[in-house]
Amino acid sequence: DWTMRAFREEEIAKIRQQVGKGKVICGLSGGVDSAVAAVLIHEAIGDQLTCVFVDHGLLRLDEAKTVVDLFRHHYNIPLVHVDASKQFLGELEGVTDPETKRKTIGRLFIEVFEQEAKKIGGADFLAQGTLYPDVIESVSFTGGPSVTIKSHHNVGGLPERMNMKLVEPLRELFKDEVRKLGRELGLPEIFVGRHPFPGPGLAIRCPGDITRDKLDILRKADAVYIDQIRKHGLYDDIWQAFAVLLPVKTVGVMGDGRTYDYVVGLRAVTSTDGMTADFYQFDMKFLGETATRIINEVKGVNRVVYDVTSKPPGTIEWE
């Protein structure tokens, strides 16, 4: 792709100019955006870059392994893998308000990066995979008064005391362009084609308070759902699909016993940039089969519902 080859060269020059001989620390989230940003910056400045993958305990099943494999083995880019799940889950305990969750997570990310920066003797820059839609959705809602819909974990600048400047080479790109750039940089198709995953992770797919038990249930249900989607060859037709664990228990029956367990919500949308989206029209047979598999394979769930809301008026994530 000619445009992306040119973009790559231009951005590499810009990064070198901005960074000079400085040190950069880059947070990886497991998503495509931060991975593409990291590979691009590594190409520009090599070992002036330190990549940090923060496991906040809010990741999907096997996420950490996928990311570590990609960086250490496919690219040979050094990666610091921080297990911060105790800290994140500890501070999120009892937090139910969506914006408070997001802000708590954003603050903790910064704290972890600060700690890691200290370990390498200080960093001058923090790199992030912020995209154009992240910037606008966090800032305002076009046409009306300025209203924050959601505080994206990686938008809004850094606390002043930090003394780090931001490097955000993808700030003008949309998702499909980031994927093109990722291919241009040689990222494996299986990684480039992955559905988007938000920085705050499963925290915003678990309305109400977050516990390790709930996260375990959610991770398993999500894995079954995605497995179903892949098996039916639907993954690439869908822009984003995931499970949500509702903070509600309902009554069911299994064998000749009564059950009282959680409800899982399934979400799948088509979109081009995440700014607007349509719910995906699965056939009912697929949904029925998926519900049966989730209830049979995931202990703690006895009911599954499908979200038929488009964006607007719904957002893609539930929080």
Contact mark string toward ligand XMP, 137..176, x via CB under 6 A: x------------x-xxx----------------------
Stretch that binds ligand XMP, among 84-92, 111-119, 195-203, 220-228 (CB under 6 A): 195-203
Least gap, CB of 251 to ligand XMP (angstroms): 31
Contact mark string toward ligand XMP, 207..246, x via CB under 6 A: ---------------------------------x------
E strands present in 155-239: 165-167
315 in contact with ligand XMP (CB under 6 A) = yes
Ligand-binding site membership of 29 (annotated) = yes
Q: What are the distances in angstroms from CA 134 to CA 80, 115, 148, 151, 211?
A: 26, 26, 11, 9, 27
Q: Binder to ligand XMP among 11, 63, 222, 317 (CB under 6 A)? A: 317
Contacts of 49 (CB under 8 A, 6+ apart): 23, 24, 25, 26, 38, 41, 42, 77, 127
Contact mark string toward ligand XMP, 255..284, x via CB under 6 A: -------------------x----------
Contact mark string toward ligand XMP, 101..120, x via CB under 6 A: --------------------
200 in contact with ligand XMP (CB under 6 A) = yes
Helices H / strands E in the chain, number of each: 10, 9
Ligand-binding site membership of 30 (annotated) = yes
Size of the site for ligand XMP (CB under 6 A): 15
Judged by beta carbon, residue 244 or residue 295, the one nearer ligand XMP is 244
Least gap, CB of 319 to ligand XMP (angstroms): 8
311 in contact with ligand XMP (CB under 6 A) = yes
Helix (H) or strand (E) holding 266: strand 257-270
175-184 and 32-45 helices cross at what angle (nearest 10)?
40
Ligand-binding site membership of 31 (annotated) = yes
Residue count (the chain): 319
Ligand-binding site membership of 274 (annotated) = no
Do the beta carbons of residue 91 and residue 103 sit within 8 Å? Answer: no
Q: Binder to ligand XMP among 198, 201, 207, 300 (CB under 6 A)? A: 198
Alpha carbon distance 89, 68 (integer Å): 22
Judged by beta carbon, residue 153 or residue 219, the one nearer ligand XMP is 153
Q: Binder to ligand XMP among 22, 98, 193, 196 (CB under 6 A)? A: 196
Alpha carbon distance 125, 26 (integer Å): 8
Q: What is the DSSP letter of 161?
A: G
- Output the six-digit token pair for 53: 């993958």
Alpha carbon distance 111, 107 (integer Å): 6
Alpha carbon distance 188, 198 (integer Å): 20
Alpha carbon distance 67, 26 (integer Å): 14
Ligand-binding site membership of 32 (annotated) = yes
56 in contact with ligand XMP (CB under 6 A) = no
Phi, psi dihedral angles at 29 (to 5 degrees): -110, -10
Residue type, 111: E
Tell me which residues touch ligand XMP (CB under 6 A).
Answer: 137, 150, 152-154, 196, 198-200, 240, 274, 311, 315-317
Annotated binding site for ATP: 29-35
Residues making up the binding site? 29-35
